[in-house]
């Protein structure tokens, strides 16, 4: 079985998508078809050759080609706004002049079937309607009921009953509206594609022979050094090796303020160097930068059909044949049953045919969802699929990790209390030796405290052998022949070495919002080290905004209950679950899901992976540059700013409002014109306005989300 991707250059609306599906769906070796209308991409799972598929698509005249022949394979594909070529506009102008002349001549002469009226009408149809007629013929060959087939029937029917000028006006208006609709859809296609232009195509690279040399960014390899002058954009991802500056990271994280950069800091492709000269070591090729991954993930999200789109597709599959059947009944039932005149009812049936195709309804959902996804990406919120953008509006419960989510995630040692005859330096050295291999924030704080003190005491850190992590509790190892461990309050209680005096000291520290750990040697407590992590100012605002959205907040943390309650009280959290291991957080999410329909989980994307994966929507904090966070989460908040969460939920609700508006507009306009058609008040050209005008209306309404 083979999977091939094709670009369909002229696939601009749901009718053409339906045509492609009808053409290839009948081939015996085609297993599945996946059409991305906004990217004009067709993905086929099949057991035949690509040439056979291209031969089958060729009669449709939609410009099918293999994707790898259209664009470089190392960059994510994007649809750029294309300037409309002059030739279609010139032909359309000639068609319009001929149609207007035919209508004017028929009105002034009172004869709609004279030679010159007929000649002008045929010129208008031939010049402006050839593309519509060709697509209508392709639809007829594949037995596809789409707007082009219905338009052809309407035009032929109008000419058959002598309405030559109106047939010409209808074909002209339809061709004009299709061209405008195609151009308007380009903006939706380009919403995320413009991000790719943020990374410059050239890079100033250091070479052994020529010193600094400007080359194509795509040729730069990992490990090379790149220089970026003030005012220039970063061409690739990297780590700063020389220079200091402030960088505008809005394209990646959505941050409004520039971020200071110094040696050792990460920089991302597409971000803007504002002041100083920077040199950085490249860490990713052009196709693997954070910016490229964002574009690729958002495009994949656009390709995945949302819940509303799946419903609309099912609805349209029944709606179109039903309306065509109604049009046939309107045209022939009154003349056959009640001996009514044929021509007036045939004309009404043709009007119903023109407004039968659900193009506006089908296109409204992907355009709206794509606009919402693009708006989120520009704000530094990466959404893995339209389904999450739609679901978030119904989420009323959110669980949050503490460290790194509500707090800065950079705790520092605040207290060292010795319980035996050990000095603070010796306590800190032993604790750091045990924690040096741990990634836990508390462990990093202890190691950092030792590194700062080691400069003064000029002492080296001993090596801990037989190192072992005690999940959710601490670590242990052998140092200079002695057994040591360092762990939390829960660990010393389980070891039954928590005396009343020690318990009192631990509780006192925890009531101050500090995380207390105990250094144990020879099965007795040696010292207490307290670590504190400050609450982010943005967390308080975010929790307040979530409450304004009627969302309940719950803290899930491995920290002790007293510290957790102190932080929760300061942040305004509704409920606290403390002393949780990773599996306990997973169990807590499962319990919440049994109580609430949708539950969100916000964490760092690594330690909270099980809970993030189990939640209805998993949110990873500070995902910029993190492969793990981008892979695990359903929604990645690229910046360490929890305010992005209520911002995303507000966007979800706005997207839902626009979706409902578009569905009501699409169906409402159709229903109104059905009534007008049956009452004899609608003409064919009015029906064209109703059909394509509705499509334009829902497209522009969906694009409003880009302004958020």
Q: Do 188 and 303 share a structural domain?
A: yes
Please report the pLDDT score of residue 651 as a whole number.
96
For the chain, what is the total number of helices (H) and then of strands (E)?
A: 24, 26
Residues 26 and 110 reside in one and the same domain: no
Residue 305 pLDDT > 90 = no
Q: Is the pLDDT of residue 478 over 90?
A: yes
Average pLDDT across the chain, whole number? 85
pLDDT of residue 179: 77
Active site (annotated) includes residue 533: no
What is the reported pLDDT for 73? 41
Instruction: State the pLDDT at residue 545.
Output: 97
Q: What is the CATH number of the domain that holds 56?
A: 3.30.70.100
Among the ranges given (103-112, 223-232, 368-377, 686-695), the one the predictor scored with the smallest mean pLDDT: 686-695
Domain membership flag for residue 541: no
Judge whether residue 480 has pLDDT over 50: yes
In a domain, 523, yes or no: yes
Q: Look at residue 196 in the predicted model and tell me its pLDDT.
A: 58
Residue in 12, 237, 401, 691 annotated catalytic? 401
Query: Which domain-ending residue is among 288, 317, 350?
Result: 288
Residue 360 lies in a domain: yes
CATH of the domain at 217: 2.70.150.10
What pLDDT, in 10s, does the model give residues 222-236?
Answer: 999 999 999 999 999
The band of 416, judged by pLDDT with boundaries at 50, 70 and 90, is very high
pLDDT of residue 504: 92
476 and 504 housed in the same domain: yes
Tell me what pLDDT residue 434 has: 93
Q: What would the pLDDT profile of 553-599 be if each residue is shown by its tens digit?
A: 999 988 878 888 888 999 999 999 998 888 899 999 999 999 998 99
pLDDT score of 411 more than 60? yes
Q: Is residue 622 part of a domain?
A: no
Same domain, 341 and 478: no
pLDDT at position 304: 63
**Same domain (yes/no): 158, 185:** yes
pLDDT, tens digit, 9 for 90 and up, residues 620-636: 887 665 566 667 788 98
Q: Mean pLDDT across the stretch 679-696?
A: 81
Query: What is the full DSSP assignment across 317-360?
Result: HHHHHHHHHHHHHHHHHHHHHS---HHHHHHHHHHHHHTT--HH
pLDDT for 356 equals 73
Could you read off the pLDDT of 29-39 as tens digits, one per residue? 898 888 877 67
Q: How confident is the model at residue 72 (pLDDT cuts 50, 70, 90)?
A: very low
Q: What percent of the chain has pLDDT over 70?
A: 91
List beta partners, residue 267. 238
75 confidence band (pLDDT: 50, 70, 90) = very low
Residue range 185-214: average pLDDT?
76
pLDDT tens-digit series, residues 527-541: 999 998 888 889 999
If asked whether residues 29 and 152 sit together in one domain, one would say: no
pLDDT given at position 193: 57
In a domain, 264, yes or no: yes
What pLDDT does 353 receive?
A: 82
Band the pLDDT of 321: cuts 50, 70, 90: confident
Q: Is the pLDDT of residue 283 over 90?
A: yes
Which residues fall within 8 angstroms of residue 395, CB to CB, at 6 or more apart? 551, 598, 599, 600, 616, 617, 649
Domain that holds residue 268: 200-288
Same domain, 178 and 108: yes
In terms of domains, do 239 and 274 share one? yes
pLDDT at 172 over 90: no
Q: What is the pLDDT of residue 303?
A: 61
In contact, 553 and 574? CB cutoff 8 Å:
yes
Q: CA dihedral in degrees (666, 669, 671, 673; nearest 10)? A: -140
Rounded average pLDDT over 684-697: 81
- 173 and 313 in one domain? yes
Query: Looking at the domain assignment, is residue 206 inside a domain?
Result: yes
Please indicate whether residue 304 or residue 352 has the higher confidence score (pLDDT).
Answer: 352
Mean pLDDT for 122-140 is 86
Q: In this model, does residue 693 exceed pLDDT 60?
A: yes
End of a domain among 532, 551, 578? 532
Q: E strand or H helix at 555, and its extent?
A: strand 552-556
Answer yes or no: do 184 and 328 share one domain. Answer: yes
Question: What pLDDT is stored for residue 288 in this prediction?
Answer: 87
Domain count for the chain = 4
What proportion of the chain, given as a percentage, has pLDDT over 90? 34
**What are the beta bridge partners of residue 82?**
none
Of the ranges 464-473, 497-506, 648-657, which is most confident?
648-657
Residues 55 and 90 reside in one and the same domain:
no
In this predicted structure, the answer to whether residue 52 has a pLDDT above a threshold of 70 is yes
Residue 601 lies in a domain: no
The answer for residues whose C-beta is within 8 angstroms of residue 20's C-beta and 6 or more apart is 8, 11, 33, 35, 42, 57, 60, 62
135/20 same-domain check: no
pLDDT higher than threshold 60 for residue 69: no
The set of long-range contacts for 675-682, using a CB threshold of 8 Å and a minimum separation of 24, is 677/330, 677/348, 677/351, 677/352, 677/355, 678/330, 678/348, 678/352, 680/344, 680/348, 682/351
Report the CATH number that the domain containing residue 425 is assigned in CATH.
Answer: 3.40.1110.10
Q: At what angle do helices 684-703 and 342-354 cross, to 10 degrees?
A: 10
In a domain, 581, yes or no: no
Q: Which of 486, 511, 532 is the last residue of a domain?
A: 532
């Amino acid at each position: 079985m083979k999977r091939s991707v094709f670009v369909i250059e002229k696939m601009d609306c749901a009718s053409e998508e339906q045509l492609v599906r009808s053409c290839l769906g009948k081939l015996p070796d085609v297993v599945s078809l996946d059409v991305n209308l906004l990217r004009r991409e067709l993905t086929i799972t099949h057991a035949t050759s690509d040439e056979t598929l291209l031969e089958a698509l060729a009669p449709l005249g939609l410009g099918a080609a293999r994707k790898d022949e259209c664009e470089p394979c190392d960059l994510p594909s994007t649809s750029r706004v294309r300037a409309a070529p002059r030739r279609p506009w010139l032909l359309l102008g000639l068609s319009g002049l001929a149609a207007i002349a035919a209508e004017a001549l028929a009105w002034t002469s009172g004869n709609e079937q004279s030679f010159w009226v007929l000649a002008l009408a045929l010129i208008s149809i031939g010049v402006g309607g050839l593309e519509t007629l060709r697509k209508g013929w392709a639809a007829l060959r594949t037995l596809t009921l789409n707007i082009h087939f219905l338009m052809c029937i309407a035009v032929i029917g109008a000419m058959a009953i002598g309405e030559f000028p109106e047939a010409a006006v209808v074909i002209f208006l339809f061709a004009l509206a299709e061209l405008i609709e195609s151009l308007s859809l380009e903006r939706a296609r380009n919403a995320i594609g413009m991000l790719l232009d943020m990374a410059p195509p050239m890079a100033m690279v250091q070479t052994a022979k020529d010193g600094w040399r400007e080359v194509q960014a795509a040729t730069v390899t990992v490990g090379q050094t790149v220089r970026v002058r003030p005012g220039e954009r970063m061409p690739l991802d990297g780590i700063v090796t020389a220079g200091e500056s402030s960088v505008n990271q809005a394209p990646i994280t959505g941050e409004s303020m520039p971020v200071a950069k110094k040696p050792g800091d990460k920089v991302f492709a597409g971000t803007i160097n504002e002041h100083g000269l920077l040199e950085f070591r490249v860490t990713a090729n052009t196709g693997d930068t954070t910016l490229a991954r964002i574009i690729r993930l958002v495009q994949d999200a656009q390709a995945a059909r949302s819940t509303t789109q799946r419903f609309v597709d099912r609805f349209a599959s029944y709606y179109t044949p039903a309306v065509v059947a109604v049009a046939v009944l309107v045209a022939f039932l009154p003349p056959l049953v009640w001996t009514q005149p044929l021509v007036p009812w045939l004309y009404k049936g043709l009007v119903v045919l023109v407004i039968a195709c659900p193009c506006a309804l089908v296109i409204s959902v992907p355009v709206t969802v794509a606009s919402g996804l693009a708006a989120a990406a520009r704000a530094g919120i990466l959404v893995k699929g339209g389904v999450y953008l739609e679901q978030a509006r119904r989420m009323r419960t959110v669980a949050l990790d503490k460290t790194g989510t509500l707090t800065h995630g950079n705790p520092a040692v605040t207290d060292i209390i010795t319980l035996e005859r050990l000095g603070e330096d010796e306590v800190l050295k032993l604790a750091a030796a045990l924690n040096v291999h741990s990634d836990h924030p508390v462990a990093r704080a202890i190691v950092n405290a030792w590194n700062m003190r080691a400069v003064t005491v000029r002492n080296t850190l001993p090596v801990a052998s037989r190192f072992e992590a005690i999940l959710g509790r601490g670590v242990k190892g052998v140092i200079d022949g002695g057994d040591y461990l360092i762990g939390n309050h829960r660990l010393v209680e389980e070891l039954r070495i928590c005396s009343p005096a020690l318990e009192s000291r631990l509780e006192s520290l925890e009531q101050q919002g500090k995380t207390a750990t105990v250094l144990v040697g020879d099965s007795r407590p040696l010292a207490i080290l307290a670590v504190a992590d400050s609450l982010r100012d943005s967390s308080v605002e975010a929790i307040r905004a979530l409450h304004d959205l009627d969302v309940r907040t719950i803290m899930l943390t491995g920290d002790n209950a007293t510290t957790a309650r102190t932080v929760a009280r300061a942040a305004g959290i509704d409920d606290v679950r403390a002393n949780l291991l990773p599996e306990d957080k997973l169990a807590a999410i499962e319990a919440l899901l049994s109580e609430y329909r949708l539950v969100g989980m916000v964490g760092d994307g690594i330690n909270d992976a099980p809970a993030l994966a189990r939640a209805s929507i998993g949110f990873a904090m500070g995902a910029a540059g993190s492969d793990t966070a981008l892979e695990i989460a359903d929604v990645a908040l690229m910046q360490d700013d929890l305010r992005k969460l209520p911002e995303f939920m507000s966007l979800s609700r706005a997207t839902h409002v626009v979706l409902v508006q578009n569905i009501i507009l699409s169906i409402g306009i159709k229903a109104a014109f059905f009534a007008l058609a049956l009452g004899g008040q609608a003409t064919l050209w009015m029906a064209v306005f109703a059909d394509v005008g509705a499509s334009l209306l829902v497209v522009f309404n969906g694009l409003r989300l880009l302004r958020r």
